[in-house]
Amino acid sequence: MASKDRMMVTEPQEPRAPGFIWPAAICFGAIFLAGILAGYSKAAAEAGKATLAPWAGPLIAATLGIAGLFFYFRRHADWFRALSRRRRRYWTALGLAAVIGGIVGVWASFDQPANRGAIEMAFTGSLSANFAIGASLFWVIGLLVSMIIYHRSIDDHEERAWLWAGLAGWYAFIFPAPVWWVLHRAGLAPPADAMLLFVLSMVANCVVYLWLKFR
Amino acid sequence: MNNKLKVLRAMRNWSQAELADRLDVSRQAVNAIETGKYDPSLPLAFKLARLFAMPIEEIFDDGFEG
């Protein structure tokens, strides 16, 4: 007699979506490795021995981290392939942007002296030329590639949200910038702060995008 | 603009996510159309019409009575 189990029809199972624990562990591992390499370099410098190039540690850690994520997501290739072309592009663009952001963030933290506060580290502290050039290249090339993929993946609704968000960001720049400039020339305000105007523009852009996309 | 998207979707027992997959748009786009917060582009409106096998003007109503 056939067992009950053998009589049961097995439904085809949907490919399992990747979880967040392993990717998070891989990212933390890469950051930890970057920290070990930075510590090694610092100890070698103090001992008067040859040190790693400033970019070598972050590059090794980022390469291993990306390789780890690649192999993890390859295990879930069926899930990825089952997505529509639009969603595949969407997740590829977001993944790429996250990896680039992670690399630049980790590199920034190891590029600076350990005794710096968070504000100084993020906004005001001086940076090395290696990091500045590397981060600029990552930013421009990475953003260019991921944005091309991203904008090919978004639907009409999201495109509309971005168009209004872009306009809001533009207005958030062109309204205050000339006002601040003339007020400064009249001695009524400090010199215009380009970074503050940039942040204001980004905040307006972000608020409008989130409102139109998710309200 | 009013539309019958929610009713048509419910008649087929589809979730917003299922309809979004069939249209290859995000779930937020379907929700925004259903709640009247967003009017779809002409290509998306045609896609909806083809999916439900109905003329566009039977799905969407601009309130004009000529």
More confident residue, A136 or A75: A136
Under 8 Å between Cβ of A16 and A77: no
Interface of chain A against chain B, CB under 8 Å? 84-86, 155-158, 160, 213-215
Specify the pLDDT at position A65.
Answer: 85
b/e code B20-31 from CB counts within 10 Å (16+ = b): bbbbebbebbbb
Cα pseudo-dihedral A23, A27, A30, A35, rounded to 10 = -150
Distance CA B21, CA A34 (A): 40
Task: Tell me the nearest-neighbour CA distance from B31 into chain A, angstroms.
Answer: 9
Cite the DSSP H helix spans in A47-175. 56-75, 77-82, 85-110, 118-119, 129-137, 143-153, 156-174
Q: Which residues pair with B3 in a beta bridge?
A: B60
The Cα-based distances of A6 to A2, A3, A11, A84 in angstroms read 6, 5, 13, 34
DSSP letter string, A36-50: HHHHHHHHHHHTT--
Under 8 Å between Cβ of A15 and A78: yes
Distance CA A72, CA B47 (A): 36
Distance CA B58, CA B49 (A): 9
Distance CA B40, CA B26 (A): 12
A195-202 average pLDDT score: 96
Two tokens, residue B10: 């419910």
Task: Tell me the nearest-neighbour CA distance from A18 into chain B, angstroms.
Answer: 19
Which of B24, B32, B44 minimises the CB distance to A84? B24
Instruction: Tell me the average pLDDT of chain B.
Output: 93
Distance CA A196, CA A185 (A): 18
Q: Could you give the ipTM of this predicted complex?
A: 0.88
Specify the pLDDT at position A2.
Answer: 46
Distance CA A87, CA A207 (A): 24
Two tokens, residue A99: 């990896």
Distance of CA A105 to the CA centre of its chain: 8
SS3 A127: coil
In this predicted structure, the answer to whether residue A20 has a pLDDT above a threshold of 80 is no
State the amino acid at position B4 in one-letter form: K
Asked if B25 lies within 8 A of A160 by C-beta distance, the reply is no
Q: How confident is the model at residue A191 (pLDDT cuts 50, 70, 90)?
A: very high
Specify the pLDDT at position B42.
Answer: 94
pLDDT tens across B10-36, in order?
A: 999 999 999 998 999 999 999 999 999
Specify the pLDDT at position B20.
Answer: 93
In this predicted structure, the answer to whether residue A32 has a pLDDT above a threshold of 50 is yes
Interface of chain B against chain A, CB under 8 Å? 21, 24-26, 28-29, 32-33, 37-38, 40-41, 43-44
Q: How confident is the model at residue A1 (pLDDT cuts 50, 70, 90)?
A: very low
Among A68-72, B10-14, B48-52, which stretch is predicted with the lowest mean pLDDT? A68-72
In this predicted structure, the answer to whether residue A64 has a pLDDT above a threshold of 70 is yes
A195-200 average pLDDT score: 95
Q: How confident is the model at residue B66 (pLDDT cuts 50, 70, 90)?
A: low
Specify the pLDDT at position A23.
Answer: 82
Asked if A215 lies within 8 A of B37 by C-beta distance, the reply is yes
**3-state DSSP percent of chain B in helix, strand and coil, to 5:** 60, 5, 35
A180-190 average pLDDT score: 97
A61-77 average pLDDT score: 84
Specify the pLDDT at position A31.
Answer: 80
Specify the pLDDT at position A114.
Answer: 67
In this predicted structure, the answer to whether residue A153 has a pLDDT above a threshold of 60 is yes
Among A98-102, B5-9, B19-23, which stretch is predicted with the lowest mean pLDDT? A98-102
